[in-house]
Each structure stands twice: as structure tokens, then as C-alpha cells.
Structure 1
Amino acid sequence: MPAVPPAPPVPPPPPDMLEFDADLSGPELDLEQWIPHYLPQWSSRERTRARYDVADGILRLRVDADQPAWSAEYDGTTQVSNLQTAVRSGAVGSSIGQHPFREGLVVREAQGDRRLYTPHFGRIEIVAAIDGIDEHAMAALWLIGLEEEPEQSAEICVFEVFGRDIADDGSALVGMGMHPFNDPTITDDFEQVAFHDDVREPHTYTVDWRPEEVVFSIDGLVRKRVAQSPQYPMQLMLDVFAFPPEPPATASYPQSFAVHAVRGYRAG
């Protein structure tokens, strides 16, 4: 059987289409670009505060050993450092809030409507080195709907790498695809793609989000196509998760990865 030719590389967008370019010059994060909390409506801004360092063009997002669980009520011992580009919720006690990741969520701290970057189609790309997580952690970039209507809740996962899926040589399984949550127009289409280069070195993970499809690439080469597309604005979610093991097992802290760039291009 003849070999299947590789998919052609995705051409870069024109520079004048750039509409979001993360400022990683340091020493502080640009709070006009990022909200440094993870879904604070289901917990609190204090418990969901991200930890990170930013300098010389590199953001290191990290989880420290003494970091509290972001929502012990709803997510057990999971620790998260997350940067997102919008937030909104209903009143305390309501169920109105973004990313309904499980049943029974209730707003614990109301969030005002804040929208820093909420693209509707276009290209999102990140240059990242997944160089500091062990088998008890995960690094990821994903998009979620703003949920002005409950069904506007799909997720586009640009990349997701668990430390347990990184081999000794740095090759890894890279998760990419789409989850519907409460969007009836989207079906689940997600997979872990084998990537044979070293994910501990910087690579470019990209989605081209079009009205009819979403195309996923690594270093400009197409790795997955999804023939469906959320039809509403979305926001970025950049994060490192830690999943503390049961004693006597231990995890290595800090859990972290390096981000060299995050860019968004408007649709042509």
C-alpha cells in the first residue's frame, strides 16, 4: 500500500491580522490581557489565584506544593494555575457560570462581566516548552464559550499534555480536539496524537478556527481536522494542573511549563 502523503503545512497569516500578542517581557503580567484566576465563580479569586514568573520573553506558569486546591468542593485536591481572557457569572447561589465541568455547580463568588480577548473564528497559536511537569500534572491551552446562552459552552483544546504521556526522550501524546459540554450542535471529537519530537523544547501548537471546521497543527503541520465549529465567541484558558497523588506517593513541585508566545489572529 502506498504511503499516505503528509498534509501540507498551514501557511502563516498576514502580520496585519494579528490582534492578540501576549506581552511576556516582564516583570509583571499584563492584566489587560489576562485574568490570573481559574473559573473563580465556582470558588473564589483568592483560592484560584495563579502563580507564575514572567521575564525576558518567557512566562513560566507553575503550581507550588503549598498552593491550595482551587475548589475542594467541586474538584477535590486538584491544584491549578490558570490565565484566562474573560470571566462572567450569575449571582451567588445561581448555576450561571462558565465551563460547567460537572453537575451541581453553584456560584460561590460572583464575577463581573470582563472580556479582554474573545475571538470569534481566526487562528490561536502558542509556543510552549512542556519541560517541568511529572506524571501528576498536565499543561494545556484551550478555548471555551462565553456562555451568554448555556449551550454556548463548547471547548476547543489547542493542546493538552499529561506528564505521564511524556517518554524519556521527550516524545509524547498530545491531546487536541473538541468537547461539546452543553452545546447540542457539537459532538465530542478529541484524540491524543503521537508527537515524536521533544515536547520539552519549544514547539508551536495552533488551531485555525473557521466557520465550518477547526484545524489543529503542530509546528505548522496539520495533525487533526474537526468538521464542526462553535459559532460564538470564545476565550483563552492557559493552564497547568497538578493532581496530588495519594500518600505515600509524592509529586515533584513546582509543576510548571514555559510559554514563549501566545498569539491570536482574526479571521481573514
Structure 2
Amino acid sequence: MSLPEPPARRPDLDDDFAGPRLRDDLWIDHYLPQWTTPDRSAARYDFDGGGLRLRIDEDQRDWRPEDAPLRVSNIQTGTFAGPLGSGRGTHRHRPDGLVVRTETPARLLWAPRAGRVDITVTASVDEGCMLAAWLVGTEHLDARDSGEVCVFEIEAADLTTARCGIKAHHDDRLRPEMTEVRIPVDAARPHTWTAIWGPEGTVIGCEGVRLYRSAQAPRYPQFLLIDLWELGPRTGEHPKTARVHRVRGWDLGG
């Protein structure tokens, strides 16, 4: 089944990553900076004429010592955290007592309650890597507002499939609903993923083809995160890379 056409109006978020710098009105180039330190959360990236090239460099530090070995380069459309030492903040995704280590002011650059996002990427082919895009609850209004729309998770070990769906995290109004889907195109070439979420549920697709539908959807502000991971020990040659070519987003929250 085909995806619906995007809204006729101009998107609220539109970035083709032409460079030479990342737009700071749209993106924060740290992965969940409140839970770690800036030297560990900072993304490695550059612009090479084909968009934003996310990198994992050989000297890149693990995101948190407790999570080693795990390195990530990420861009996200906002941040929220409570005071230092507290457990408040966006994406409390780990059960091991995340606490705020870096004071992080609230910035809601793009955080719709309902919307559509089209993300054009080239997945990583490098050993041990995963490219992912998530919409995660900001939690700045209520700690339960933590549910996630997983747009895609693509591991370099298998570029024919992706994981997508709903993750409840700390939101007892949602239930986990993840699935594996077959990618209808070559993920090692530029291709576009779409997520549409709102009162009628969630739809996820790739290259105009609907791959997933759920009656569920978070009903509170969501940040967009796009990240490249190196999971496990350092192996092979670095840098390891993936590309983000364009992102368009529409706030349909009314």
C-alpha cells in the first residue's frame, strides 16, 4: 500500500545539509547530552557535497563509561533535562539509573505532538554500525511522556531489513509494538523513510511504500533523533560513516 502524499504546504522543518555548518536553529549535535559529558556526547560529522556525513572516528569515546563499548554520532531537534543529579530528562531509555551529569537547558527546536517526517539517508555498510531515526517524547511536561516512534533501525550486518514500531519506555498508556520489515530498496543508496503519527495512529514507510501501521501513537511533543552507532568493540577501519541527505517535517498537532 502506498503512503499518502505529504502536505501541500511548506514543511516546518526542511534541511538539505548543504553545509558548511549544521543549522543550530534546527539541530543539536550531541546525543542525549544530559546523561553524559560533552566530550562523549558530541557528534563527529562533516559535509561532503552529498549531505551530512555522520562519522564514528577511531578516537571517539564511548557515550557513557557504563555503556562501553558503544559510540554514537547524533543530531536531534531539542533537549530537556532536570537539575544536575536528578533523573529527569528526555529518553530515560536505560534501567541502570541515568542521572543528569551535564546541565542542559530546555530547547524545543522541533517537537510536534503529531506530524509527518520524511528522512532521506544512506545507511552505513561498516562493520558493527547501525543507522537509526527515532521520535522520542520530550518529557518536559510529564515524565510519562516518554513513548517513542522508532522510524527505522538499520544494521550494517543486514541492509535488507529494518526494525520499526512503537516503544513505550515509561508511558503506561502505550504498549511495545516493534517489528522487523523488509526494506524495499538498496539501503546502501539514498532512500527516504516516512513516519506519520497522530490521533489516528502511526504509519511508517520507505520510498512511498507503507511498511507498518499501528493504532497507537504518542500524543505529546516528540524530538527527532538521527544517529549512527558503532556497537561493540572497535573493529575494521575508521571513520565509519552514514549520510543524512535531507529531512522534511510537518507539525500536524493543530
TM-score normalised over the length of structure 1: 0.89
How big is the shift at 1:221? 0.9
Distance in 1 separating the partners of 2:114 and 2:7: 15
> 1:132 deviation in Å?
3.8
Unpaired segments of 5 or more residues in structure 2? none
Between the two proteins, the alignment pairs up a number of residues equal to 251
CA contact (8 A) 1:245 1:251 kept: no
Letter of the structure 2 residue corresponding to residue 76 of structure 1: A
Give the AA of the match of 1:88. F
Confirm or deny that 1:145 pairs with 2:134: no
The answer on whether the counterparts of 1:21 and 1:264 sit within 8 Å (CA) in structure 2 is yes
Number of the residue aligned with 1:169? none
Q: Percent identity?
A: 39
Shift of 1:256: 1.3
Cα deviations by residue, 1:59-104 (Å, 9 ceiling, x for unpaired): 111111110111113x122100010111111111111111111121
Q: Counterparts of 1:156-235 in structure 2 under 5 Å?
A: 156-166=149-159, 172-235=160-223
Q: Which aligned segments of 4 or more residues in structure 1 are displaced greater than 6 angstroms?
A: none
- Paired with 2:125 and 2:52, the residues of 1 have a C-alpha distance of 13
Out of 77, 89, 93, the position equivalent to 2:69 is 77
For residue 191 of structure 1, report the CA deviation from its aligned partner.
1.0
- What does residue range 1-268 of structure 1 map to in structure 2 within 5 Å? 7=1, 9-56=2-49, 58-73=51-66, 75-103=67-95, 104-134=97-127, 136-148=128-140, 149-166=142-159, 172-245=160-233, 250-267=235-252
Pair member with larger Rg: 1
**How far 1:245 moved relative to its partner?**
2.5
3-state SS of paired residue (1:18): coil
Q: CA 1:10–1:133 in structure 2 vs 1: closer, same or farther (change >3 Å)? A: same
3-state SS, counterpart of residue 88 of structure 2: coil
Q: Which residue of 2 aligns with 1:3?
A: none
Gaps of 5+ in 1: 1-6, 167-171
**Once the 2 structures are TM-superposed, how far is the Cα of residue 15 of structure 1 from its aligned partner?**
3.6
Structure 1 residue matching 2:9: 3-state secondary structure: helix
In structure 2, relative to structure 1, the CA distance for the partners of 1:52 and 1:132 (3 Å cut) is: farther
Per the TM alignment, residue 251 of structure 1 is displaced from its structure 2 partner at its CA by: 3.3
TM-score (norm 2): 0.94
